[in-house]
Structure 1
Amino acid sequence: MEGRLNNMWRLTVNESKFVESALQSELRVDGRGLYDYRKLTIKFGKEYGSSQVQLGQTHVMAFVTAQLVQPYKDRPSEGSFSIFTEFSPMADPSFEPGHPGESAVELGRIIDRALRESRAVDTESLCVLAGKLVWSVRIDLHILDNGGNLVDAANVAALAALMTFRRPDCTVGGDNSQDVIIHPPEEREPLPLIIHHLPIAFTFGFFNKGSILVKKLCFVY
């Protein structure tokens, strides 16, 4: 990803003039207009919390899971969520196998910040026992093909997976009302997450000293 981004900005004078001339004619290399977005396709898996998003040539898969953990001390009655990204070398030659690189970490931070700062997910509804047990939601993003607009595609994939995720229902009982019973789906219907907002990534760029606006994705919910 980093290599591709670096190469993208190292244009020759002739290439820069060609791009500027094309944009002034309201055309792109792939034939789209300045405000035309890439074709967006969303597919859902058979399991709860799985989605596949294709935005142009970019392909992202998302999976959501949850487990009971102890809450943070400063938020005893709130659950949590975290995002992990995996960049496959088959998706882009510049992706390296092994531990997530800076690009993967930064992508996760952008998606996490959008969900967290907008308070899209009701984390208080993830509390089972205040100060003892809450649900921790994990979002795994797998980049299968990088054809541009990676943030926008990953953002939609994460939201689609969150909206279709279902966590096990559980009850609190026992003599001291401290025993947690997790009910299997055959016994009780799993519960969806409470989602208040859908923060959609919107990528755009300015060219020719700000006189030309180019939209990369336009998606309205």
Structure 2
Amino acid sequence: MEQRLANCVQLTVNEKQFIENALLSELRVDGRGPLEYRKLSIKFGKDDGSAEVQLGETRVMSFVSAQLVQPYKDRPNEGTLSIFTEFSPMADPSFEPGRPGESAVELGRIIDRGLRESRAIDTESLCILSAKLVWAIRIDIHILDNAG
């Protein structure tokens, strides 16, 4: 059964009890205290647009590419941003090769929503020539090690 990333996860009674006990004990599975952050590391790759990010024991490789395209007719002054995620079977035995699973799609949506709602990417700044030419940005994220 594939894990769900959204806040609608159905927990068993034992899982709920484990989480409640862990919170009361100020205990985390990885040994961190309740207010400690995971260590963050970002390494830029040799290829343009590539980077490896590590947060705790979770590792991802990302690739950013861009191409000039015609804008959508209903958004003539905006470029586009597309995010694609892939869970490597090496990252977690529950991931299968092939089409992206539900977790990969959900993670892509979460990242996409986070970038859009934070306005981290100004899609209007991706416009080169109104109604004629905009940048289409593509972000590919490959999960190499899944540690939560």
Change (3 A) 1:11 1:52: farther
Unpaired segments of 5 or more residues in structure 1? 149-221
Alignment RMSD: 2.4
**TM-score, length-normalised on structure 2?**
0.84
Percent identity of paired positions between Structure 1 and Structure 2: 74
Q: Classify 1:57/1:134 alpha carbon distance in 2 versus 1 (closer, same or farther; 3 Å).
A: same
The corresponding residue for 2:122 is 122
On the 8 A contact 2:4/2:103 being kept in 1, the answer is: no
Structure 2 CA distance for aligned equivalents of residues 41 and 105 of structure 1: 24
- Cα separation, 2, equivalents of 1:120 and 1:4: 25
After the TM superposition, list the runs of 4 or more consecutive aligned residues in structure 1 that deviate by more than 6 angstroms.
none
Instruction: Pick closer, same or farther for the CA change 1:146–1:74 going to 2, 3 Å.
Output: same
User: Matches of 2:29 and 2:120 in 1, distance apart?
Assistant: 36
Letter in 1 for 2:116: R
| Contact residue 85 and residue 107 of structure 1 kept, 8 A | yes
Structure 2 unaligned regions, length at least 5: none
Shift of 1:103: 1.0
CA displacement 1:23-43 (0-9 Å, x = unmatched): 323222332111112222111
> 2: CA distance between counterparts of 1:61 and 1:143?
7
Q: What is the CA distance between 1:92 and its match in structure 2? A: 0.8
Query: Helix, strand or coil for the counterpart of 2:125?
Result: helix
Q: Quick one: higher RCO (CA 8 Å, sep 6+), 1 or 2?
A: 2
Q: Deviations over 1:31-66 (max 9, x none)?
A: 211111222211111233221111122111111000
The aligned length equals: 144
Contact 2:81 2:137 in 1 (8 A): yes
* Counterpart mapping for 1:12-23 below 5 A: 12=14, 16=17, 20-23=20-23
Q: Distance in 2 between matches of 1:30 and 1:119?
A: 32
Tell me if structure 2 keeps the 8 A contact 1:4–1:94.
no
Q: Is the 8 A contact 2:51 2:63 kept in 1?
A: yes
1:86 matched to 2:86? The reply is: yes
SS of structure 2 residue aligned to 1:46: coil
Write the mapping of 1:66-215 to structure 2, written as runs, cut at 5 A: 66-148=66-148
**What secondary structure, in the 3-state scheme, does the structure 2 residue paired with 1:2 have?**
coil
Aligned to 1:31: 31
Decide which structure has the larger Cα Rg and report it.
Answer: 1
When residues 11 and 94 of structure 1 are mapped into structure 2, their CA distance, relative to the original with a 3 A threshold, is farther
Deviations 1:58-108 (A, max 9, x none): 111111000011100011111111001111111111111111111111111
